Amino acid sequence: MPGALERIVRSGLAYQAAAFLSAGLGIFTFAAYTSAIDESTLGVADLILAWLIFLAIIARLGFGEALLRHWFTAGDRERPQLQRSIQGTVAATSLLAAVVVIALAEPIATLLPSVKDPWLIRIAGAGLFLYCNLDMAQTLLRARDDRRTYLVATVSNVLLTIGLSLLLVIVLDQGVRGYLIGNYAASGVVLAVLWLREVPVFARRVEAIQAFVHPESSLVVSHAKASGDARRADNAADDTRRTAGSSDADADAIDGEPVSPASPNAPDPAAALAEGIDPGSAVESEEQRRAASRGDRRALLRFGLPTIPTDAAIFGFNLFDRTLLAALAAPVVIGSGQPSALGVFSFASKIASGVILMARAFQLAFPPLAYSITDPKQASAIYASALRGYAVVLGATVAGVALCAPWTVEVLVHFPEGAPNPRPEVIEILPMLAAAWAMWGVIPVMTTIAGRLGAPKLAIPASLIGLAVNIIALLILVPPYGAHGAAAALVIAYVVLIASLSLFTHKYFPVAYDWPRIGAALALCIGTALLAGPVADAPDLGWTPAAIRIAMFATLIVLLWRLALEDAERAEMRGIGRRIARLGR
């Protein structure tokens, strides 16, 4: 079986390919947007987008997590009804939410201090419906492990979004309205195409969806079978389960050893994880699991609704940062030369999105790996190794962001002539935001423990504690320090959240995290980021500070390689490097 690091890298790249493309093109489009939209207006657009995602968490009812959990345990004949129940329910709830937002656009605009145009809220209302349903359609593709369709859909969405946004913002001069419409219209086109592919399922012309175990993970590749083939689909599924370890693995050169599939009669992986532990009534019973797998909405809600407080609280970090920053930061005085705090925060957040991409790749790749391991000791070792590897890779990334900040900000941040220069403040808060997003990526290491047990309620207390700490820190730090205070509050909140999640899940599934090596990795990365300014200040972007910072980063990589990784992990990373090198030939 390939190592945990290799499996995470492969899966993460597959599901984040379009996001990395978007980030690469964003180097050029971001400069175009900021030349046409000033930083305060761009901050308003980001605030609206943040609220939209927050409302989408509620409107989806936690059914995305429920789909991924129960798709793997449902039978061939159960999956069509499971899909209809989940996608139909989310379509109805998101449509209701969108109608309410559009109807209340004017009072909502008055509640948000920076939003003065009710049409921005109306556009966001339509976007809420599109966002919820596109997310569910993409979750279905992940459940089916339909990587090709997922890749085509996400890349098409990226290209359409960029084309429409540039047309509306730059050519037609529609400003922030064009920026929002460009995002949502592209999503609408992609969603329509994905929905058309599912018409046979919703028209009940499909009675069974045959599941084939993907050799790399516990995900299932699904193929629709017409009603006349239903019996043959069930028989084929049994044959596939018996032979998955040989033919599929041989056919796919990049995949690792197959993992046994989940089936209705198979032992529940949660039982193995919780061996010797009694989590009580919080754990999903076998009866509840089977009902949810059949598409019973009450059973799905029983699993999905407890995920809403956790997801909403964690996303609330991002939401309340911008909202309270807009409300509490000192107002910009015309002629003072001081940029908008919300605009500075928005600029830095966009530049730090490279860290978000890598963190999100880990978030998408880690749960299938974690769910596929039933042996408690092996699972504990994988959790510990994954966290250590993540700390090394993302810690080095954050340090690299801090070292490159002066040059990155100079290239990406543009502002209208005569407007205050936000670049110095963006450079100062960028490392803190990059660190915060890196910590955000760690959360699935803890939350998948609750998911495997079928007990998402276990993560709620920690997420609420983290959100409370974030709000209190914002109230204390934003008035005197503006964007700097908001960035510091976010870092503090994520530290508290991760510590709380570890505390609440440890008693159900103890993991022997390698804190000495993790601590060494974090100390090296933080030290490098903090020393960048004093050792190699770069006010004029000269070659000398650039050379010094490159040497600092190279030294950091060598130290991390020697001090933070085990021998087996170093060997695994060498193997990944060799495979990547062969692909490039």
Return the HEC string of 263-280.
Answer: CCCCCCHHHHHCCCCCCH
> Among 169-173, 281-285, 574-578, which is the least confidently predicted range?
281-285
Type of residue found at 180: L
So what's the pLDDT on residue 543?
Answer: 79
Alpha-carbon span 413 to 399, nearest angstrom: 20
Residue 222 has φ and ψ, to the nearest 5°, of: -110, 140
- Using the Cα atoms of residue 565, residue 571, residue 576 and residue 580 in order, give the sign of their dihedral: positive
So what's the pLDDT on residue 195?
Answer: 93
Most confident of 110-124, 143-157, 228-242: 143-157
Alpha-carbon span 497 to 549, nearest angstrom: 32
Tell me the pLDDT band of 242, cut-offs 50, 70 and 90.
Answer: very low
pLDDT in tens, 172-226: 877 778 878 887 888 899 999 999 988 888 888 776 664 433 434 333 333 334 3
Judged against a pLDDT cut of 70, whether residue 146 lies above it is answered with: yes
Report helix, strand or coil for 296. Answer: coil
So what's the pLDDT on residue 530?
Answer: 85
So what's the pLDDT on residue 95?
Answer: 94
Task: Please give the residue that has the higher pLDDT: either 553 or 416.
Answer: 553
pLDDT in tens, 540-572: 667 788 888 889 889 999 998 888 888 877 887
Question: Which residues pair with residue 220 across a beta bridge?
Answer: 213
Q: Taking all residues of the chain, what is their mean pLDDT, rounded to a whole number?
A: 75
So what's the pLDDT on residue 38?
Answer: 61
So what's the pLDDT on residue 580?
Answer: 66
Task: Please state whether the predicted TM-score (pTM) of the whole model is above 0.75.
Answer: no
Alpha-carbon span 43 to 49, nearest angstrom: 10
Question: Which residues pair with residue 248 across a beta bridge?
Answer: none
So what's the pLDDT on residue 368?
Answer: 67
So what's the pLDDT on residue 86?
Answer: 92
So what's the pLDDT on residue 115?
Answer: 64
> Across 130-205, where does the E strand assignment appear?
none
Residue 489 has φ and ψ, to the nearest 5°, of: -60, -40
CA dihedral 44, 49, 54, 59 (to 10 degrees): 130
Domain range list for the chain? 37-305, 313-585
CB of 282 within 8 A of CB of 451?
Answer: no
429-440: b or e for each residue (b if 16 or more CB lie within 10 Å)?
A: bbbbbbbbbbbb
So what's the pLDDT on residue 542?
Answer: 73
Across residues 434-451, what is the average pLDDT? 82
